[in-house]
Amino acid sequence: MKRFKFTIRGNEYETEILKLKGLNATIEVNGTQYEVELQKPKNRPELSIRRPAAGGQSMKVNGNGAKGNSVHAIKAPLPGVVMKVFVNEGDTVEVNDQLLIYEAMKMENVIKCDKAGKVKSVKVKASDSILQDDVLIEIE
């Protein structure tokens, strides 16, 4: 139907509106389908994600810092909701340390550290909704 680019928490996403009926739409973000409800605040329209559409597929993508950058970004492999964060800014982490737990596709998933270092920033907190490829934690 139509393609759009959105920036959410500093990450850019290409989306395609597959179906639009009234204020309800089926969109595709990075290969995953979502049913969303359009909301019209005073200044600009927003999308609020309700649930994955039936038959939606997802793809796991590992997070890496930019080339030449000493910051390593831990990214969400799937959309979901953060349940618990185990680290804070300034903490020292080792490979395989648990960083956070989030719920995706009705399952609890543990995000483990894949690079030792110091936590530069924690971008999420418990109960935050996250999208695929959102930066969750930065490690330097």
pTM, entire model: 0.53
In this model, does residue 60 exceed pLDDT 70?
no
| Topology, domain 72-139 | OB fold (Dihydrolipoamide Acetyltransferase, E2P) (2.40.50)
CA 115 centroid distance within chain = 20
Asked if 5 and 12 count as a contact pair (C-beta separation under 8 A), the reply is yes
- Lowest mean per-residue pLDDT among 24-28, 59-63, 74-78: 59-63
Cα–Cα distance for residue pair 123/8, rounded to 1 Å:
12
pLDDT of residue 99: 94
- Name residue, tokens 């997070």: 63
In this model, does residue 69 exceed pLDDT 70?
no
